Chains A and B, each alone.
Chain A
Amino acid sequence: MSTRLQTGGRLIDRTKQIEFTFNGKRLNGFKGDTLASALLANDQMMVGRSFKYHRPRGIIAAGPEEPNALMGTGVDGHFEPNQRATTTELFQGLTSQSQNHWPSLEFDVGAINSKLSRFFPAGFYYKTFMAPRAAWKHVFEPIVRMSAGLGKAPTHKDEDTYEYFYAHVDIMVVGGGIAGLAAALTAGQSGASVLLMEQGVTFGGRALTDGVEIDGKPAAAWVKKTLAALKKLPNVQIRNRMMGAGVYDHGYALGYERITDHMGPSTGPRHRLWRIRTKRIVTATGAIERPLSFAGNDVPGVMLAGALRDYIADYGVSVGDRTVVVTNNDDGYRTAIALHEAGLNVPCIIDPRGDLDGELPARAIALGIRIENKSAIGKVKGGKRVEAVTLCAQAGEGGTLEEIKCDAVAMSGGWSPVVHLWSHCGGKLNWDFDQAMFRPDPSRPPLGADGTGFVIATGTANGHLDSASVMKGAVTAGKLAAKETGHKATGITPKASDEKASPIAAVWSMPQGAIYALKSKTFLDYQNDVKVSDVRLAAQEGFESVEHTKRYTTLGMATDQGKLSNINGLAVLADSLNKEIPQVGTTTFRPPYHPISFGAIVGDARGELFKPIRKSPIHQWIDDNGGDWEPVADWRRPYCYKQQGETTEQAVTREILNTRVNCGLLDASTLGKIIVKGPDAAKFLDMMYTNMMSTLKVGHCRYGLMCTENGFLSDDGVVARLSDDTFLCHTTSGGSDRIHAWMEEWLQTEWWDWKVYTANLTEQYAQIAVVGPNARKVLEKLGGMDVSAEALPFMRFKDGMLGGIKARPFRISFSGELSYEIAVPASQGQAFWDMCMEAGKEFGIQPYGTECLHVMRAEKGFIMIGDETDGTVIPQDLGLNWAISKKKEDFLGKRAQLRPHMVDPKRWKLVGLKSVVPTEVIPDGAYATDGTTRQNGVKHMIGRVTSTYFSPTLNHAIAMGLVEFGPDRMGEIIDFPTIDGDIIKAEICDPVFLDKEGARQNV
């Protein structure tokens, strides 16, 4: 059984007991434990079920590479699935649940899949869920949904907060092991600014567990001294619990800081996503031990040798009483020695290698540990727990020579450098045959903005497995980074010494000629249940590219992205294809290195900060007075103002009738207002608009159209000439920023010699429209300037004072009524609005919303950008030829409007549509058909509706639409089929339904 030892555990504090739960069971651990070490201390060896076969799975690693021990932690608003027990720090009250089993971890129905495993080969999904179609919906999908998926999605809103932080630094050092520390100190002492990050809690890395000596003393002393020296440097920042998550172009990197995960629910941000710009990145991210491929290598109790050693040294936890060590390299012997020194039994070290001249094997022999050379594990016996292993010859097919009773197996297949950060942005790798590993190729680094490499790999991440080379390399890396960031590099290399090691043997299959029965129980990828037999089958079926094999077999997918499985898997693939490993290559390393929370990615953009909302100066009043909000670009505008008991429709009808009869008040502040000034302003606007703007008189207004170079309508609005060289251009509410940028683009990049300045004054003014027959009376009551028809005629504006506020009323009308749009300083917008409401009381003034505006403009046949236009409509389609100057030599869009398709008489053109049955409103987006059918069986369409309303003014359903030869077909009745099969008949008519002469507005 796994248990807590009486002594040992350099990371735990035995005086501080911590209570936590696992699947509802109350358990105890110590401060400093991870959830994994605490579970092992409580003999909880089995921690989950595998993804596909629901096989019992135990903890296999001690770090972020752990594929099995995935937990749901926390409850309700703090619940999070798929948390690694090996990186989850224990805290008082931590709750955890195992995943992927039903009804319980101990007894699981899905485990039947394991017995059926030969029916679930590689590519099972692709081969099975093909046909019939009905089976997918009724059989496959329900089953797959029940059994698939790791963990459960949270059901509550995340109660934690998250944030970003943008950091700039000369050198970012990732990894707080001895290599990272040495590189950071060297770079820091050379004067560069340094950000050193360590994903775990403590610094020093494996060196502290593995008894490395530096400068003649245990590594711990050097680590302590170095940390102290680093902390003294003002140019160095050290952060633990922060992972180097990803490396991107031009020295951009992500750091994932877990601020409160080790404390449980707390105030303040839980995770902070660091967005770092750095000149150089030193990746000292260490190495990950590889499993060995033998049958039953997934039975709980089989663990990476280094992890087993960690649990003893770091947490004082033994995984078993009798541990068989199986290793193809000398490092595995460390575990055997550590076990022996902890008073635990090591029945045998199984080593496929022959003659060994290394110091560690010699020490093991001296301790009296049995060593079986040229040997292998045939298979592991046991279901939920290791019971024994069979010993066989590595060279054979797996015939049992002896059965060795044990309750744990420590395996070491060698070490793989963590090259992820080197590779994320394109750093290339070389296969090191001697050490059986991929390591960074320094001649092919990821390149930065200046074309030079910006990532430097060091330590074991660079393939240096002995501490002497690690120290030398780390100081060199620190110096290089310092030099390349413009600093004078200095640094002394600490001396470290290592045992003489015998060479590793590349062992990808154990035993070498394992029969199918063994291979089909030999797991490569624990998380995805991919076996040696699956990869061989994929190769046999023609999946030769490693990327294809990955997707076909799911090798290296999911949350661990093959940290343990990739190298073993591609070695098997290479072997199946009779290729060398470097010929097969690796799959692409993509960020993040390790899963990061969605919360961290989202940052603060949640709730009220999700997306900025633009608010007009009248926003609060509208909100307080029944405004029914709708989004208009980033603004919010009231669709209507609901009075007590009113439906939306009733409110809109009331607003329309009141505005047409009495007076309405509209907040038009969102309209764009761009000032264009300069000796060439008129010439410039002649290019921007289809109209002739240069002939506009000072004090006058003109409605204008803007097109893109494709000829399509992009915006419209009223232009006012403020002075000879100054114009004020109104844009649509959604168009202000876009049109301002559009103007600047042409001025800066095409006509940069033209003397024109623009300024976006959209938000300088609140713009209030006073509309309706009583509009003038309201303004006259406010007083301050002459707003009579003579002093301020239609399509003019004037500067003056209204009600004591500096105002500029424009006599423009989007409703067809007598109308003033009054611009006042935004800061006084609310005050002016209040005055209008007060003054208008006796004249029946009421505020109105955007739907009332829409209906009134449709009654008048005014087009709306975004309704009548959709990016494919030219002004000519809308009968706006009167607004297209024929005198101008050029304007944006002119050339395009002459292209053959643009002058095609068959283009759909704007008409009015009057429903034959007055109450039948044509649905939005309806198409007109002519009764014929196209070759493909679809009804032939001859037009579509662009705006459609019920007009309370006319007491009739009206619409505007684009219809083939429309203007030539006045009086014709056409069909609009609806979704439910009915047909609405409508008569083609003039789009101006009300007051064609303009008598109402021009008074």
Chain B
Amino acid sequence: MSNAVSAVQGASFKGSISVKDAGLQGMITLRGDLGSDTLAKAVKAAVGVTVPGVGKINTGKKGSAAWMSPDELFLLVDYATADTVVAKLEKAITGAHVLAVNVSDARAVFNLEGVGIRDVLAKGSPADMSTSAFAIGDLRRTRLGQLPVAFWLDSDTTATVVCFRSVGEHVFNWLKAAAQKGTLPKYYI
């Protein structure tokens, strides 16, 4: 897989915050009964974390599991292992009605770093970016500019933004424009 490339191929930008292509990232869509023990065990075995609560993301050493909808999780693993993890999940939940698919190549992922990340995201998302409404461990699916995205905070000063691959370039350019030096309203910081 040495010839695999991410959507924006390592692009990065440093302004009032830094925006970086996260590169190849293993991602899995898992749909099923999120309340079932079998599924919880399979997720634990696959990514090493428990099933997240509504609107949350749990991160462990092997990867992360994020709540996307009442019957859908979004798992983050190493790019190279995604197919293996899908196979493992399917095996572990045999018999139950589930759908596990590798979507690693269908998304673009960006890492944001800097004290102004909340302000940058608030330039495009109608979500409440205040600390009381959006904390580390929360995941929000929303609109950023004109496009659907999901984002979460990895720390007070780092965030991850995920969008569809085909618009990766647009989202990167949008983030770049929003993160220009000296343009943050300093509302959420």
Do chains A and B make direct contact within the complex (CB under 8 angstroms)? yes
Chain A interfacial positions (CB closer than 8 Å to B): 161, 163-168, 193, 237, 257, 267-269, 272, 275, 277, 604-605, 608-609, 611-617, 635, 675, 677-679, 755, 757-759, 761-765, 805-806, 825-828, 830-831
Could you give, for residues 51-89 of chain B, a 1 whenever the CB lies within 8 Å of some chain A CB and a 0 otherwise? 000000000000000000001000000000001000000
One of B99, B107, B178 near A604 (C-beta < 8 A): B178
Structural contact, A831 and B4, CB atoms closer than 8 A: yes
Q: Within the assembled complex, what's the spacing in Å between the Cα atoms of A828 and B24?
A: 11
Q: Within the assembled complex, what's the spacing in Å between the Cα atoms of A828 and B5?
A: 7
A sample of 18 more A-B contacts (CB under 8 A), given A165-B185, A167-B187, A613-B170, is A161-B177, A163-B177, A164-B123, A165-B123, A167-B122, A168-B129, A268-B180, A268-B183, A277-B128, A605-B145, A609-B174, A675-B99, A759-B101, A761-B101, A762-B106, A763-B164, A764-B105, A827-B1
Is B165 at the interface (CB under 8 A from chain A)?
yes
Instruction: Give the nearest-CB partner of B29 in chain A.
Output: A759
Across the interface, which residues of B come within 8 angstroms of A164, CB to CB?
A: 123-124
Structural contact, A755 and B97, CB atoms closer than 8 A: yes
Interface set, chain B 133-189, CB cutoff 8 A to A? 133, 145-147, 164-167, 169-170, 173-174, 177-178, 180, 182-183, 185, 187
Is B18 at the interface (CB under 8 A from chain A)?
no
Instruction: Give the nearest-CB partner of A193 in chain B.
Output: B130
Shortest C-beta distance, A196 to chain B (Å), equals 13
Across the interface, which residues of B come within 8 angstroms of A763, CB to CB?
A: 105-107, 164-166
Structural contact, B125 and A166, CB atoms closer than 8 A: yes
Structural contact, B103 and A611, CB atoms closer than 8 A: no
Interface set, chain B 95-110, CB cutoff 8 A to A? 97-99, 101-107
Structural contact, B125 and A764, CB atoms closer than 8 A: no
Across the interface, which residues of A come within 8 angstroms of B124, CB to CB?
A: 164, 166, 604
Is B50 at the interface (CB under 8 A from chain A)?
no
30 contacts between A and B (CB under 8 A): A163-B183, A164-B123, A164-B124, A165-B123, A166-B123, A166-B125, A268-B180, A269-B183, A277-B126, A604-B145, A604-B174, A608-B170, A614-B167, A635-B166, A675-B101, A678-B97, A757-B99, A758-B99, A759-B31, A759-B101, A761-B101, A761-B106, A763-B164, A764-B103, A764-B105, A764-B106, A826-B165, A827-B1, A828-B5, A830-B5
Q: Within the assembled complex, what's the spacing in Å between the Cα atoms of A831 and B130?
A: 43
Q: Within the assembled complex, what's the spacing in Å between the Cα atoms of A679 and B96?
A: 10
Across the interface, which residues of B come within 8 angstroms of A257, CB to CB?
A: 185
Structural contact, A828 and B133, CB atoms closer than 8 A: no
Q: Within the assembled complex, what's the spacing in Å between the Cα atoms of A629 and B147?
A: 22
Q: Within the assembled complex, what's the spacing in Å between the Cα atoms of A737 and B150?
A: 17
Q: Size of chain B's interface in residues, with CB distance under 8 A?
A: 51
When A and B form their complex, which 6 residue pairs have the shortest distance between CB atoms, in order from nearest?
A831-B3, A614-B166, A757-B99, A827-B4, A826-B105, A764-B106
Structural contact, B99 and A677, CB atoms closer than 8 A: yes
Structural contact, A163 and B167, CB atoms closer than 8 A: no
Q: Within the assembled complex, what's the spacing in Å between the Cα atoms of A349 and B97?
A: 88
Structural contact, B103 and A759, CB atoms closer than 8 A: yes
Q: Within the assembled complex, what's the spacing in Å between the Cα atoms of A887 and B145?
A: 47
Q: Within the assembled complex, what's the spacing in Å between the Cα atoms of A530 and B122?
A: 45
Could you give, for residues 27-44 of chain B, a 1 whenever the CB lies within 8 Å of some chain A CB and a 0 otherwise? 001011000000000000
Instruction: Give the nearest-CB partner of B168 in chain A.
Output: A615
Shortest C-beta distance, A194 to chain B (Å), equals 12
Shortest C-beta distance, A720 to chain B (Å), equals 15
Across the interface, which residues of A come within 8 angstroms of B6, CB to CB?
A: 827
Structural contact, A827 and B31, CB atoms closer than 8 A: no
Q: Within the assembled complex, what's the spacing in Å between the Cα atoms of A604 and B183?
A: 13
Q: Within the assembled complex, what's the spacing in Å between the Cα atoms of A245 and B5?
A: 46
Structural contact, A828 and B4, CB atoms closer than 8 A: yes
Q: Within the assembled complex, what's the spacing in Å between the Cα atoms of A616 and B105?
A: 12
Q: Within the assembled complex, what's the spacing in Å between the Cα atoms of A168 and B140?
A: 16
Structural contact, A825 and B105, CB atoms closer than 8 A: yes
**Given A168-B128, A275-B126, A679:B97 Cβ within 8 A:** yes
Q: Within the assembled complex, what's the spacing in Å between the Cα atoms of A761 and B103?
A: 7
Q: Within the assembled complex, what's the spacing in Å between the Cα atoms of A679 and B99?
A: 11
**Given A168-B128, A609-B173, A678-B97, A825:B104 Cβ within 8 A:** yes
Q: Within the assembled complex, what's the spacing in Å between the Cα atoms of A831 and B180?
A: 34
Shortest C-beta distance, A268 to chain B (Å), equals 5
Instruction: Give the nearest-CB partner of B134 in chain A.
Output: A168
Q: Within the assembled complex, what's the spacing in Å between the Cα atoms of A617 and B105?
A: 10
**Given A267-B182, A759-B31, A828:B3 Cβ within 8 A:** yes
Structural contact, A757 and B98, CB atoms closer than 8 A: yes
**Given A165-B187, A827-B5, A609:B177 Cβ within 8 A:** yes
**Given A163-B183, A165-B187, A604:B177 Cβ within 8 A:** yes
**Given A167-B122, A615-B166, A757:B31 Cβ within 8 A:** yes
Instruction: Give the nearest-CB partner of B167 in chain A.
Output: A612
Shortest C-beta distance, B163 to chain A (Å), equals 9
Q: Within the assembled complex, what's the spacing in Å between the Cα atoms of A573 and B74?
A: 65
Structural contact, B123 and A163, CB atoms closer than 8 A: yes
Structural contact, A237 and B101, CB atoms closer than 8 A: no
Across the interface, which residues of A come within 8 angstroms of B127, CB to CB?
A: 166
Instruction: Give the nearest-CB partner of B132 in chain A.
Output: A193
Shortest C-beta distance, A737 to chain B (Å), equals 10
Structural contact, B166 and A168, CB atoms closer than 8 A: no
Structural contact, B71 and A757, CB atoms closer than 8 A: yes
Of listed A614, A617, A805, residue having the most chain B CB within 10 A: A614
Across the interface, which residues of B come within 8 angstroms of A277, CB to CB?
A: 126, 128
Structural contact, A272 and B185, CB atoms closer than 8 A: yes
Q: Within the assembled complex, what's the spacing in Å between the Cα atoms of A269 and B164?
A: 28
Across the interface, which residues of A come within 8 angstroms of B99, CB to CB?
A: 675, 677-678, 757-759
Across the interface, which residues of A come within 8 angstroms of B31, CB to CB?
A: 757, 759
Shortest C-beta distance, B70 to chain A (Å), equals 10
Structural contact, A237 and B167, CB atoms closer than 8 A: no
Structural contact, A827 and B104, CB atoms closer than 8 A: yes
Across the interface, which residues of B come within 8 angstroms of A161, CB to CB?
A: 177
Instruction: Give the nearest-CB partner of B177 in chain A.
Output: A604
Across the interface, which residues of A come within 8 angstroms of B29, CB to CB?
A: 759
Shortest C-beta distance, B24 to chain A (Å), equals 6
Across the interface, which residues of B come within 8 angstroms of A679, CB to CB?
A: 97
Shortest C-beta distance, A255 to chain B (Å), equals 10
One of B3, B133, B187 near A237 (C-beta < 8 A): B187
Across the interface, which residues of B come within 8 angstroms of A163, CB to CB?
A: 123, 177-178, 183
Across the interface, which residues of B come within 8 angstroms of A830, CB to CB?
A: 3, 5
Shortest C-beta distance, A664 to chain B (Å), equals 23
Shortest C-beta distance, B34 to chain A (Å), equals 12
Structural contact, A168 and B133, CB atoms closer than 8 A: yes
Q: Within the assembled complex, what's the spacing in Å between the Cα atoms of A827 and B123?
A: 30
Shortest C-beta distance, B168 to chain A (Å), equals 8
Instruction: Give the nearest-CB partner of A829 in chain B.
Output: B105
**Given A166-B123, A604-B178, A827-B6, A757:B97 Cβ within 8 A:** yes
Q: Within the assembled complex, what's the spacing in Å between the Cα atoms of A166 and B121?
A: 9
Q: Within the assembled complex, what's the spacing in Å between the Cα atoms of A615 and B7?
A: 9
Across the interface, which residues of B come within 8 angstroms of A828, CB to CB?
A: 1, 3-5, 105
Q: Within the assembled complex, what's the spacing in Å between the Cα atoms of A805 and B2?
A: 10
Q: Within the assembled complex, what's the spacing in Å between the Cα atoms of A612 and B148?
A: 11
Q: Within the assembled complex, what's the spacing in Å between the Cα atoms of A827 and B9?
A: 10
Structural contact, B3 and A826, CB atoms closer than 8 A: no
Across the interface, which residues of B come within 8 angstroms of A614, CB to CB?
A: 164, 166-167
Across the interface, which residues of B come within 8 angstroms of A757, CB to CB?
A: 31-32, 71, 97-99
Shortest C-beta distance, A401 to chain B (Å), equals 59
Across the interface, which residues of B come within 8 angstroms of A635, CB to CB?
A: 166
Across the interface, which residues of A come within 8 angstroms of B173, CB to CB?
A: 608-609
Q: Within the assembled complex, what's the spacing in Å between the Cα atoms of A142 and B147?
A: 45
Shortest C-beta distance, A616 to chain B (Å), equals 7
Q: Within the assembled complex, what's the spacing in Å between the Cα atoms of A635 and B165?
A: 12
Q: Within the assembled complex, what's the spacing in Å between the Cα atoms of A762 and B165?
A: 10
Structural contact, B145 and A609, CB atoms closer than 8 A: yes
Q: Within the assembled complex, what's the spacing in Å between the Cα atoms of A446 and B122?
A: 27
Shortest C-beta distance, A971 to chain B (Å), equals 47
Instruction: Give the nearest-CB partner of A765 in chain B.
Output: B105
Q: Within the assembled complex, what's the spacing in Å between the Cα atoms of A755 and B169?
A: 36
Instruction: Give the nearest-CB partner of B127 in chain A.
Output: A166
Across the interface, which residues of B come within 8 angstroms of A761, CB to CB?
A: 101, 103, 106
